[in-house]
Structure 1
Amino acid sequence: MFVSTYNNNGLNDTLMILFEKSESDVQEFSKSEDLVEIKNKETDRVVGYNLFNASTHLKDLTNGPVTLSEENINSLNELIKEADFKKTLETTGRSNFVVGYVKKCEPVEGSDHLSVTQIEIDDEKEVQIVCGASNIAEGQKVVVAKVGTVMPSGLIIWPGELKGVTSEGMVCSARELGLPQEADGIMVLDDGPEPGIEFKF
């Protein structure tokens, strides 16, 4: 899993790849030509790459969160190998925004507004997501932002924990998707789309 964003304004033609969260004060950097490897120096794990002059190496980049094509991933992997860096990119070929089916929804102990849900997404896989919306309920079809999603606001969805309960993803409201919000809470879909289908804005 990785997150990719492209900035041709403030960062001047730079593609950023993130594999995991890492605090800036524990990072170290290795540079080879236009590619920079970012490591967590405490764990020695590669947490990301920055690619400068990205448009000279990759095709069809647009500002903001980007889903890299297979061709662009292959080009990046070639640059990584040429730099003798070890962590290459993989693609699942799946969208980060999908239809989810809420199979279970229970209050989080010790909270007056959080619910812990079990939500079916890709290929009958279930994920546990903690949700603070008052209108979340068992049996709903909802929009799920999976771990690794970059939201329209720029927020990155990482695995987390709320009130001691693990959460892997986010159930989205229309506002969080950049869409008109007609009512408070999460966006509830009709019964048509099947779980795991890509949600198209």
Structure 2
Amino acid sequence: MIFTYNKEQVGDVLMVIVADDQGQAVAVDRRGPVARVFRLDTDQTVAWNIFDLSQVIELEGSGQVWLTDEQVAQLNASLAAQGFTEQLINDREPKFVVGQIVSMEAHPDSDHLNICQVAVGQEEPIQIVAGAPNAAVGLKTIVALPGAMMPKGNLIFPGDLRGVASYGMMCSPRELALPNAPQKRGIIELADTAVVGEAFAAEKHWQG
């Protein structure tokens, strides 16, 4: 679940992205200050728009923002007041973490993609399909997990590349908008001392 807010450019509206619409047609059910965006084919909720947000909670920041459990409870009260039965679930787990490639094999339907198993501090490695030319077993890098918003605004959801499931993205310095990022392809290469699963912090993990 991704919360985004940009009062200056968009207005006093919180956008809550719940799922990938996968390019399918969507419709909107608006009730007062709350709008539910859902897929027409499955009725799955993909987003919520909560208008006049400052009348419900005070929120600082721009772009992807992080809410407290108390703020999410207040938003859920607003949804319920408009007759919606779904609730928002707060997810405060870091979405950019240190990962390490533990195995890699060539994609069967591509001459440049690899299927990587990447340790990210969870019980099992996650599978990521990547085309980075410097990807190698043992390399530590930064992984954007599902639910991440990249600096340019694109969202990370589970998907597939040429028929193979992929559950995140290994990031280049340029994709993370890091200062002095080299303008070339390739994922960020971290020191061996980087701790797998640790939340990404530019001041700690980048010396560009």
Q: TM-score, normalised by structure 1?
A: 0.91
Instruction: Write out per-residue CA displacement over residues 36-84 of structure 1, whole angstroms, 9 at most, x where no aligned residue.
Output: 1112122112111001112232223312111222222121111122222
Instruction: Give the equivalent residue in structure 2 for 1:158.
Output: 157
Distance in 2, matches of 1:126 and 1:86, equals 35
Q: Work out whether residues 24 and 39 of structure 2, in 8 Å CA contact, stay in contact via their aligned partners in 1.
A: no
**Cross-structure match for 2:40:** 41
Which region of structure 1 is more displaced relative to structure 2, 134-143 or 83-92? 83-92
Does residue 113 (structure 1) correspond to residue 118 (structure 2)? The answer is no
Q: Secondary structure at the match of 1:77?
A: helix
1:24 CA displacement: 7.6
Structure 2 distance, partners of 1:122, 1:80, is: 34
Counterparts of 1:1-201 in structure 2, within 5 Å, are 2-22=1-21, 26-179=25-178, 180-182=180-182, 184-201=185-202
Separation in structure 2 between the aligned mates of residue 27 and residue 75 of structure 1, nearest angstrom: 26
CA distance in 2, matches of 1:189, 1:25: 38
Structure 1: where are the runs of 5+ without partners? none
Residue 55 of structure 1 contacts residue 61 of structure 1 at CA under 8 Å; is this kept in 2?
Answer: no
Q: Is the 8 A contact 1:16 1:48 kept in 2?
A: yes
Which residue type is aligned with residue 141 of structure 2?
V
CA drift at 1:25: 6.9
Give the 3 Å change call, closer, same or farther, for CA 184–22 of structure 1 in structure 2: closer
Distance in 1 separating the partners of 2:112 and 2:122: 30
Residue type matched to 1:188 in 2?
Answer: E
Give the stretch that moved more between structures: 138-147 or 107-116: 107-116
Counterpart CA distance in 2 for 1:165 and 1:25 is: 20
Alpha-carbon shift at residue 23 of structure 1 (Å): 6.4
Unaligned runs of at least 5 residues, structure 2: 203-208
Moved more, 95-104 or 182-191: 182-191
Percent identity of equivalent pairs: 34
> Residue 108 and residue 38 in structure 1: after superposition, are their counterparts in 2 closer, same or farther (change >3 A)?
same
Once residues 17 and 86 of structure 1 are traced to their aligned partners in structure 2, the CA distance between those partners, rounded to angstroms, is: 16
Give the paired residue count. Answer: 200
What is the alpha-carbon distance in structure 2 between the residues aligned to residue 18 and residue 97 of structure 1? 17
Partner of 1:177, secondary structure, is coil
Report the 3-state secondary structure (helix = DSSP H, G, I; strand = E; otherwise coil) of the residue aligned with 1:175: coil
**Greater mean alpha carbon deviation, residues 130-139 or residues 180-189:** 180-189
TM (norm. structure 2) is: 0.88
Which stretch shows the higher mean deviation, 53-62 or 131-140?
Answer: 53-62
Distance 1:25 1:166, change over 3 A: closer
Checking the alignment, whether the CA contact within 8 Å between 1:6 and 1:62 is kept in structure 2 is yes
CA 1:190–1:92 in structure 2 vs 1: closer, same or farther (change >3 Å)? same
